[in-house]
Chains A and B, each alone.
Chain A
Amino acid sequence: MAFLEFDRITKRFPGALALDGVSFAVERGSCHALIGENGAGKSTLGRILAGVHRADSGEIRLDGRVIHPTSPLAARQLGIAMVHQELAFCPNLTVAENLCLGDLPRRTLGWVDRAALRERARRMLAEIGADIDPDAVIGTLSTGREQLVQIAAAVGSGAQVIVMDEPTSSLSSGETRELFRLIGELKARGITLIYVSHRMEELFALCDHVTVLRDGRFVATEAIAATNQARVVRQMTGRELLVQTPAHLTRALGDEFLRVENLSSPGHFSAVNFAVRAGEVVGLAGLVGAGRSEVAQAILGLDAAATGRVFVRGRELKLGAMDTAMAAGLGLVPEDRKRQGLVLPLNCRENAALAALPLLSRAGWVDRTAERALVGRYAQRLRVRTASLEAPISSLSGGNQQKLALAKWLARDCDVLIVDEPTRGIDVGAKAEIYQLLDELAGEGKALLVISSELPELIGLCRRILVMREGRLAGEVARENFSEHGLLEIMAGVAAA
């Protein structure tokens, strides 16, 4: 008999049927992959198991017994923990406090035992091999590190079932490797894992079974050994995935649209020089922390300490003011959609129109018809799944939020667009759509700089790839010399280009 069974789970949100009678079983001690397009209901299913949401109908059986995880605490008592896709910690508390929040070590009179607290946190972090200071305030950590703390919390809670919702989406490759090692260990200990990810290679490397969801419905559960990537994609999307060579590669390049000279920012990066021409797609590779995002933000004027010169279409840009940079034709899709990209209390339309506001307003008045049309066009193009564009953006699935963060800058119609991890959390089908869109933008004569930690993405898309290491440009590789191995070597400093 199966260890964990979902039986006809149904969950309806205002305007969206997130899960529609989903049934499948998970074996004890296995790593069970859950995959599906953005908005297919993966996170919702995980949240139901972890007691964040309650199913409208259906039941969950653990070890043959019907369980009712009515709250995260109840779920934890049942031995279920979840690593959330969207961050779920108190940003103003320290790592140690967050890790032990449910059960703070106390002395008499309720005083928190600080030493014991720190010690326990250190042990939990060491268990997952994360090098994080337990006294660091959560809000100061990068998204990836915060994700690691979540993983430490789930593993350290002694749970028998752990749901991991896109745990690697913001991790560096080293951290990812460490996580995979940990997952192997957990499996050996008989802990059951439900693993959600859009990275197909991960699923095939880690998991034993895969369940595919589509539009809130169960499609299939299969043993990993008995299926393949193309088959899973077909089950997810109902179509074949076409991998096309970008059309922009064969076109002639135009004028130099962006030129960066000697750009430096103390403590982040120094002496960065490069140029991007109209119609060109340039990649920017590097390990997490190499300073790629910082360079992008400095170009846009978001780094007050940056020095150097930036030219847009031949004219020098005054550094330090994002609105002037935008007026000159620059745009930036930031790396962290939750913190830098989206305004959660606003709805989808308002978020997607925020960067294009100056284009959409005349004498300060927002032209609502134009706004709806513009946002609607990109939402349709990126196949954003939402009940309505007037729905709060927080009600969208992670991938759909990312699509709107992207739509916000596509709507702005920039001459030079920098996209930082544009496909984070986006499903395979929509990724292909985004690559095609970027290709089209290049075809229209825009200059694009793509920052990504996924090398296949850069290799597929770019004409050239710049590689950063420890705050410096360490090399440049032309398309004919692209190879994942070669790029990795430059990134790690093993070879110079």
Chain B
Amino acid sequence: MSPPAEPRATGSPTPASPKMAFGRMQESGLVVVILLLGVLLTVFSGSVQTPVFAPGPDGLPQRVYTTNASGESVPATVEKNKFLNAQNLAQLAKDTSFIAIMAVGMSVVIIAGGIDLSVGAIYALASVLGALTLREFGPGADHILLAPWVGVSIGAFVCIGVATLCGLINGGLIVALRVHPFIITLGAMAILRGIAFVTTKGQSIGGFPPAFRELIRYEVGNGLSLVPLAVMLLVTVLGGIFLSRLAAGRRVYAIGGNELAARFSGIRVERVKLGVYLISGATAGIAALLALGYYGAATSGDGQGYELNVIAAAVVGGASLTGGKGSALGAVLGALVIQMINSGIVILGIDQNYSQIIIGAVVIAAVVLDNLNTWLARRRPAASA
């Protein structure tokens, strides 16, 4: 009898593990999709004439004029690709950050086998309550007693605190009532947005401390907002560490993969579930805070339909709705795909109303492609063991 051709037992640590390679492969697949989308948008978007600005004597940007062939003074323009220009990319980065931050939280929930439909509503309620607080310290308020940073901190605390609390309540209800998260968060979605509407009576709330707006709108280069981008990076890194390096993250995967087996491993399933909805709520609060600073106002209608974008981002990023699969980096890349499509719809001049249709189709395509990929991987004979 000749010795077995394949390894029998593998006790030795494998340096490049197949699963990690596979994980990398999946995320690199997303990178390919993103590059492809970028190329397509660049090619098909065409170009625009944009006016040239230069710093004037007072330091503010001013239009540059040139004389044309007939000697008249006309605004100078340059031709730019509609998609591939610094301004558009900066905007894309900013828009992606808001969705991506929430998508990381959503991924955690989906990996645990749950779903959170209320993120958009949590975002709205956190925005509105944060805005009401911040307005008390803004220029319009008649009693500014505290230093601006104190006011901003209180506002930020309220905004993120409210969102986290909403997540905690979601999780608490799901665990205590043993109701499917779809139902609880669907209810929460309506209730929380209703509360936001009632508190604001449908009014827009603005007038925040200028320092707050300046901080979040801090830009470099051609309007690249650094703060949302940095926060997104931070959330991604923290989310990634949580999911792949911490014992708590491992428990999230275990619960999503097989709740009973997780229980039989001594994992406190209820506690972990509570935690994942709390995380999802908190990320909605962080996104809401950034948006407050960026847009300078909030209404109860903010974040309408965000749940679709956020869930789409997580799913496109590889999170499996049956639980047990997904990653933070995937969620962020998924958010970028979704935002590129949103932005492409604007740039290509497609009717805005089509955006929901297209995003819906992309989600389905992503899941189908993922299944196909798994299927292929199973079929494909290994080149070598």
Q: Contact residues of A with B, CB < 8 Å?
A: 12-17, 20, 56, 214-216, 219, 238, 302, 321-323, 325-326, 332, 334, 339-347, 350, 353-355, 357-358, 360-361, 364-366, 369, 372-373, 376-377, 379-380, 383-392, 408
Contact present for A322 and B245 (CB under 8 Å): no
Closest-by-CB residue of B relative to A385 is: B8
Give chain A nearest CB distance to B26 CB in angstroms: 14
Q: How far is the CA of A385 from the CA of B385 in the complex (A)?
A: 13
Q: Contact residues of B with A, CB < 8 Å?
A: 1, 4-14, 17-20, 245-248, 250-251, 253-254, 256-258, 260-268, 320, 323-325, 377-378, 380-382, 385
Given contacts A323-B266, A380-B9, 14 further A-B contacts (CB under 8 A): A16-B382, A20-B5, A321-B268, A342-B261, A343-B254, A343-B258, A343-B261, A344-B324, A346-B257, A354-B265, A361-B247, A377-B11, A390-B18, A392-B19
Give chain A nearest CB distance to B330 CB in angstroms: 15
Contact present for B263 and A322 (CB under 8 Å): yes
Q: How far is the CA of A12 from the CA of B381 in the complex (A)?
A: 6
Contacts of B325 in A (CB 8 A): 345
Contact present for B6 and A215 (CB under 8 Å): yes
Closest-by-CB residue of B relative to A219 is: B1
Q: How far is the CA of A342 from the CA of B247 in the complex (A)?
A: 17
Q: How far is the CA of A353 from the CA of B251 in the complex (A)?
A: 11
Q: How far is the CA of A364 from the CA of B252 in the complex (A)?
A: 13
Contacts of B258 in A (CB 8 A): 339, 342-345
Q: How far is the CA of A392 from the CA of B250 in the complex (A)?
A: 15
Q: How far is the CA of A360 from the CA of B265 in the complex (A)?
A: 14
Q: Which among B4, B14, B256, B265 is the interface contact of A215 at CB below 8 angstroms?
A: B4
Contacts of A215 in B (CB 8 A): 4-6
Contacts of A13 in B (CB 8 A): 381-382
Contact present for B10 and A376 (CB under 8 Å): yes
Contact present for A350 and B261 (CB under 8 Å): no
Contact present for B6 and A17 (CB under 8 Å): yes
Give chain B nearest CB distance to A428 CB in angstroms: 17
Q: Which among B17, B254, B264, B377 is the interface contact of A340 at CB below 8 angstroms?
A: B264
Give chain A nearest CB distance to B220 CB in angstroms: 35
Closest-by-CB residue of B relative to A215 is: B4
Q: How far is the CA of A376 from the CA of B261 in the complex (A)?
A: 21
Give chain A nearest CB distance to B371 CB in angstroms: 14
Closest-by-CB residue of A relative to B3 is: A215
Closest-by-CB residue of A relative to B248 is: A364
Contacts of B263 in A (CB 8 A): 302, 322
Contact present for A238 and B1 (CB under 8 Å): yes
Contacts of A325 in B (CB 8 A): 266
**7 pairs from A and B in contact (CB 8 Å cutoff):** A343-B324, A364-B246, A369-B13, A387-B385, A388-B18, A389-B14, A390-B17
Q: Which among B248, B260, B266, B268 is the interface contact of A339 at CB below 8 angstroms?
A: B260
Contact present for B9 and A344 (CB under 8 Å): no
Give chain B nearest CB distance to A295 CB in angstroms: 15
Give chain B nearest CB distance to A14 CB in angstroms: 4
Closest-by-CB residue of B relative to A301 is: B266
Q: How far is the CA of A390 from the CA of B116 in the complex (A)?
A: 30
Q: Which among A322, A332, A346, A386 is the interface contact of B254 at CB below 8 angstroms?
A: A346
Residue picked from A14, A341, A391, A392, most chain B C-beta under 10 Å: A14
Give chain A nearest CB distance to B2 CB in angstroms: 8
Q: How far is the CA of A12 from the CA of B302 in the complex (A)?
A: 54
Q: How far is the CA of A340 from the CA of B266 in the complex (A)?
A: 11
Contacts of B13 in A (CB 8 A): 369, 372-373, 376
* A16-B6, A354-B265, A376-B12 known; A345-B18 Cβ under 8 A: no
Give chain A nearest CB distance to B338 CB in angstroms: 24
Closest-by-CB residue of A relative to B258 is: A343
Q: How far is the CA of A228 from the CA of B266 in the complex (A)?
A: 44
Contacts of A56 in B (CB 8 A): 381
Contact present for B10 and A389 (CB under 8 Å): yes
Q: Which among B1, B261, B324, B381 is the interface contact of A341 at CB below 8 angstroms?
A: B261
Contact present for A326 and B266 (CB under 8 Å): yes
Contact present for A15 and B260 (CB under 8 Å): no
Q: Which among A341, A365, A379 is the interface contact of B247 at CB below 8 angstroms?
A: A365
Among all A-B residue pairs, the 7 with the closest Cβ atoms: A345-B324, A380-B11, A390-B17, A343-B257, A376-B11, A14-B382, A345-B257
Give chain A nearest CB distance to B13 CB in angstroms: 4
Q: How far is the CA of A241 from the CA of B317 in the complex (A)?
A: 51
Contacts of A334 in B (CB 8 A): 264
Contacts of A339 in B (CB 8 A): 258, 260-261
Closest-by-CB residue of A relative to B326 is: A345
